[in-house]
Amino acid sequence: MKRCLVVLLLAGWACAAPAPSTLIANVPGRTTVNLDGAWRAIVDPFDNGRSGFFRDEKPRSKSDRVEYSFDASPVLNVPGDWNTQRESLMFYEGPVWYRRVFNYHKRANTREFVYFGAANYLATVYLNGEKLGEHEGGFTAFNFEVTSVLRDGENFLIVEVSNARRADAVPALKFDWWSYGGITRDVMLVEVPTTFIQDYSVQLARGSQSEVAGWVQLNGAQSPQKVAVEIPEAGVRETVTADGTGRASFRFTAKLELWSPAHPKLYDVVVKSGDDTIHEQIGFRTIEVQGANILLNGRPVFLRGISMHEEAPFREGRAFSEEDAQTLLGWVKDLGCNFVRFAHYPHNENEIRLADRMGLMVWSEIPVYWDIDWSNPATLANAEVQLRDEIARDHNRAAVILWSMSNETPVKPDRLTLLTQLAKDARELDSTRLITSAMNHTDNTGSSERTLSDPLGEVLDVLGLNEYLGWYGGRPEDVDKMQWKSMWTKPLIVSEFGGGAVYGRHGDTDEIWTEEFQDNLYQHQLGMVERMPNLAGLTPWVLMDFRSPTRMLPGVQDYHNRKGVISNRGQRKLAFYTLQKFYKKLAEAGK
């Protein structure tokens, strides 16, 4: 695990900023070799494989003892979680070793990288018996260069993946979703020229609707090199020179149609340098705060949203495919949403890119969830790297308007120090978006009055509030009397509210777990939410039922969080239609 020096500060401590991301930008737009499919897999609960599984040894004679065999082991599909592929692995936490044998023909003047969309949680990667490196974090992409290790002909890629929970991890020991283990997103070989465009940012300058500002980062440049940025449809072609580190910055004016939910315009942006040419679909828009309003392209916008997990519809397990994204975000649009909260971790790239095309604004979050090891510098370093790589992958997506630092974290000094540092990191990495967190600490300032007073609110651009009145306290009718205040005149998003219901279970409005109870709760909550000061949006909890080991009630939960307005089989509950009607009313009123 990455360690960092502790720097003593008056307010606490902080880590040095993590090294720049090594992620290759826009992998879907590169020349790639897909390595998805059936991988041989060995379940290794005692982690014996570290003694040599990465060598993929075979017996050299009839008397040679080798106590493992990938060839004789069953397969697991990649991408995919192991929990839902084998019933025996549903609750498994620990290491699993994966092997993929493939043939490759090497080309001159080409560098190769192996790219993983994600692997949960700790991955150690070997190619042809040589260790490439490790990656920690279950929801961020990573890549390793393999140019010198890759063979012309047959190769074997071996990955040890462990989803074991740890107190110093991010997230830590307890969280309200399933810890799906495995290589959960695509694996590819990426082919690039000797000097290539590693990353780039092409966005509107903060506060401007006509000025584009950004940068390009080359990898492998031996001397200053020309870089061209083109937006052909807008008649733009700018050329700049990269410095000795391969970095080139630019700033130019352009007449552009702005991206919005009503008009999700994407431009073909071309970045060229030497032998490398990248095409990318990019939307241009501004997102700002003015008092209690969120401004999209200079105009107030109300965020009609829903929260969702990266849970596959119908089949369950981790969602990863374009089809999964189409189904889930199709439901979001059917609700009448212009906004979606991707909780509680960075979601797969298919969802982010589809949101760009569909005109859905996105809240993107890192898994600093509930309680973590706040005073541990290594835990901060881990969270910083996950934040860095989340931003590195998605900083050109117009859909992403909010970077969220955390969800429902306890109010204490070390926590405030860590989250303040993360907010500072996010602003340094990307000054064009807003910073938020989902908070749940409020003060009772009257018999029917609550005040949002979490000191974290001071460092945020937009306040997120999770509240479950009528579910985790009181009755739905009690919500009608509640008044809300905030210590800050900042935009407020009610980032969670709701209650559980089993699809098809019916009864009176006061009978818990019925659709009628959930629907009644929504009706009272929506009435209260409309009265809340500084309200700029809401993302009720949650789009679809999802698996969680903390939800154990037999015959009701069965290891599922049932707060979805849609069941895990795609069936719409009564609350879906109540929320849909509410959003239609807001849209007709111009919100």
pTM, rounded to two decimals: 0.96
Regarding beta strands 75-78 and 142-145, do their DSSP bridges make them parallel or antiparallel, or are they unpaired?
unpaired
Phi first, then psi: give them for residue 368, nearest 5 degrees: -80, 95
Regarding beta strands 37-43 and 303-308, do their DSSP bridges make them parallel or antiparallel, or are they unpaired?
unpaired
How far is 297 from 26, CA to CA, in rounded Å?
Answer: 25
- What would the pLDDT profile of 291-341 be if each residue is shown by its tens digit? 999 999 999 999 999 999 999 999 999 999 999 999 999 999 999 999 999
- What would the pLDDT profile of 171-214 be if each residue is shown by its tens digit? 999 999 999 999 999 999 999 999 999 999 999 999 899 999 99
Q: Which fold has domain 196-288?
A: Immunoglobulin-like (2.60.40)
Regarding beta strands 196-204 and 211-219, do their DSSP bridges make them parallel or antiparallel, or are they unpaired?
antiparallel
Decide if pLDDT at 8 tops 80: no
Angle between helix 377-394 and 349-358 (nearest 10): 40
Between 7-21, 32-46, 427-441, the lowest mean confidence (pLDDT) is in 7-21
Decide if pLDDT at 67 tops 50: yes
- What would the pLDDT profile of 349-360 be if each residue is shown by its tens digit? 999 999 999 999
Q: Does domain 35-193 have CATH number 1.25.40.10?
A: no
Evaluate whether 320 touches 221 at the Cβ level (below 8 Å).
no
Query: What's the mean per-residue pLDDT of the chain?
Result: 96
How far is 100 from 362, CA to CA, in rounded Å?
Answer: 35
Task: Give strand pairing partners of 229.
Answer: 238, 271
How far is 49 from 59, CA to CA, in rounded Å?
Answer: 16
Evaluate whether 368 touches 436 at the Cβ level (below 8 Å).
no
Decide if pLDDT at 5 tops 80: no
Among 284, 280, 266, smallest CA distance to 203 is for: 284
Task: Give strand pairing partners of 146.
Answer: none
Decide if pLDDT at 1 tops 50: no
Report, as an integer, the average pLDDT of 470-475: 95
Decide if pLDDT at 106 tops 70: yes
How far is 134 from 144, CA to CA, in rounded Å?
Answer: 9
Peptide bond into 554 cis (omega under 30): no
pLDDT, residue 15, reads 54
pLDDT-based confidence at residue 4 (cuts at 50, 70, 90): very low
How far is 544 from 223, CA to CA, in rounded Å?
Answer: 52
Regarding beta strands 483-486 and 303-308, do their DSSP bridges make them parallel or antiparallel, or are they unpaired?
unpaired
pLDDT, residue 223, reads 83
Report, as an integer, the average pLDDT of 250-267: 98
Regarding beta strands 400-407 and 361-365, do their DSSP bridges make them parallel or antiparallel, or are they unpaired?
parallel
- Sequence spans of domains, the chain: 35-193, 196-288
